[in-house]
Amino acid sequence: MATVAARTAQRVLASDLAQHTGEQVRIEGWIHAIRKFGAVNFLVVRDRSGMAQVVLEPEDVAPLDGLQVETVVAVYGTVEEEPRASHGVEIRHARVEVISPVTDVLPFELNKKKFKPTLDVFLNNAPVGLRYPTRQATFRLYSDLLFGFRDYLDHRNFVEIHTPTMVGAATEGGANVFQLDYFGRPAYLAQSPQLYKQIMVGVFERVFEIGPAFRAEEHYTVRHLNEYNSLDVEMAFIESFHEVMDLLIELLEHMVQTALERHPHDAELAGMQMPRFGEVPRLKFRDAQRMILERYAEDRSNDLDLSPQDERWIGEWAAEEFKSDFVFVTHYPTSKRAFYTLPDPEDPEHSLSFDLIFQGQELVSGSQRVHRYDQLLQIMEQRGMNPESFAGYLQAFKFGMPPEGGFAIGSERLLMRLVGAENLRETTLFPRDVNRLGP
């Protein structure tokens, strides 16, 4: 057991042990592995910074008999150089104190190089599975991406906002919403903060939000969930929607670079590299369909949207012709875009909208918005929408709104593409889909 000195010594993280060579220290963490060899035994302790190797005498192993990995311990000992150990040091002359014992067998092994559970088994045991080093690395990188998102926008005078997720009307005016009882009257989980961030453009000119979005769609795909975290940006006094696309590319590049710089070891562990940006091409929707016909002999001229296969083909085209992992598709049919999307004045059947495709998969949707009050009312009337249901939203436009536009990034989908995951559920902490409402 640990001595009084062990309990009072200042805690040192595994990654900082080399700075304390020759000193007595205390580390705390989870037992990642126990290796018993008789005369020389090893304990690997994991904390938030990495792994620490501890050398135990035979008598020091006794307190661990019957305990499983993931037992929480405090270890007191002397830091000595050992080039073969993590961080080039190990702890010797150690004493171990058990803080939280674990006696049950884990649902899967966390200390193997290859993580073997199926996705369902992992998700059912996510509170434990998320401790696996590669999963830790993935979600630490996710945190870095969000840090980079905020950092870039903060330095360009955007204001972070937080808007309601319970609303009185469907954001997009559609049926794919979760309805709930709000003290006897209907309410909905927001499909996005779209209407509120447009309102706030009338206050701050430039705003952003990181928050949940909900879609009541019965998807059974590897790229869709019913709840996800959306990275929303809106900006006013734009000359055209090309300004919005320019900012988006700079923002994404900054986000990825931030993650790579903050935690390079995690990036290596998770397989994340800087994607190829280059000169990101911009391809109109109709031109994309013509390209698909010419290149792949598939006629998409009657389609009003891109299929997943179309996106993959467009991604291949961008990679081969422009050496870029990204491509914008612009000018989608106005009828297939939300009511607030601005029709192209020179071609009203198509809108000043865009999707950013990343490695063959849609990542971002955005557009220039309708900013004139009379035009919004006309569009709502044409679509059979009740303006009274959007009274608060319309008030912002009734009393003056500048030309503006914005976009929304699917954050988990971005992470999925960056680390090469095959399923969005691998890059979502606790995914919610048609079949999953826990843990």
Give 82-114 pLDDT, tens digit per residue.
998 888 999 999 999 999 999 999 999 999 989
CATH number of 4-100: 2.40.50.140
Exactly one of 369, 413, 417, 425 is catalytic; name it.
Answer: 413
Exactly one of 20, 223, 242, 290 is catalytic; name it.
Answer: 223
Please tell me the distance from the alpha carbon of residue 276 to that of residue 254, in angstroms, as a whole number: 13
**C-alpha atoms less than 13 angstroms from C-alpha of 419 in its C-beta half-sphere:** 30
pLDDT at 4: 43
Structure tokens of 435?
Answer: 């079949």
- pTM: predicted TM-score of the whole model, two decimal places: 0.94
Q: Using DSSP, how many helices (H) and how many strands (E) does the chain show?
A: 13, 18
219 is catalytic: no
Strand 179-182, strand 343-344: pairing: unpaired
Are 195 and 140 contacting, i.e. CB atoms less than 8 angstroms apart?
no
Residue 174 has pLDDT above 70, yes or no: no
Exactly one of 131, 150, 224, 436 is catalytic; name it.
Answer: 224
Widest distance between CA atoms in the chain = 84
Burial of 102 (0-12, 13-18, 19+ CB in 10 A): middle
Closest CA to 427 of 8, 105, 138, 53: 138
How confident is the model over 235-246, as a mean pLDDT?
A: 98
Residue 5 has pLDDT above 70, yes or no: no
- Domain boundaries along the sequence of the chain: 4-100, 127-427
How confident is the model over 288-300, as a mean pLDDT?
A: 97
Exactly one of 87, 135, 215, 350 is catalytic; name it.
Answer: 215
pLDDT at 173: 56
Query: From the CA atom positions of the chain, what is the Rg in Å?
Result: 27
Strand 72-81, strand 24-36: pairing: antiparallel
Q: Where are the alpha helices (DSSP H) in 106-132?
A: 119-124, 126-129
pLDDT at 3: 46
215 is catalytic: yes
Residue 7 has pLDDT above 50, yes or no: yes
CA torsion through residues 148, 432, 106, 1, sign:
positive
CA 425, 193, 234 angle in degrees (round to 5)?
Answer: 105
224 is catalytic: yes
Task: Place domain 127-427 in its CATH homologous superfamily.
Answer: Bira Bifunctional Protein; Domain 2 (3.30.930.10)
Least confident of 141-145, 175-179, 209-213: 175-179
Least confident of 162-176, 201-215, 228-242, 414-428: 162-176
Please tell me the distance from the alpha carbon of residue 405 to that of residue 314, in angstroms, as a whole number: 24
Residue 175 has pLDDT above 80, yes or no: no
Exactly one of 230, 324, 365, 367 is catalytic; name it.
Answer: 365
The pair phi, psi for residue 392, each rounded to 5°, is -65, -40
Instruction: Count the residues in the chain.
Output: 439
Please tell me the distance from the alpha carbon of residue 80 to that of residue 23, in angstroms, as a whole number: 8
223 is catalytic: yes
217 is catalytic: yes
The pair phi, psi for residue 404, each rounded to 5°, is -155, 165
Q: State whether residue 64 is helix, strand or coil.
A: helix
Give 312-359 pLDDT, tens digit per residue.
999 999 999 999 999 999 999 999 999 999 999 999 999 999 999 999
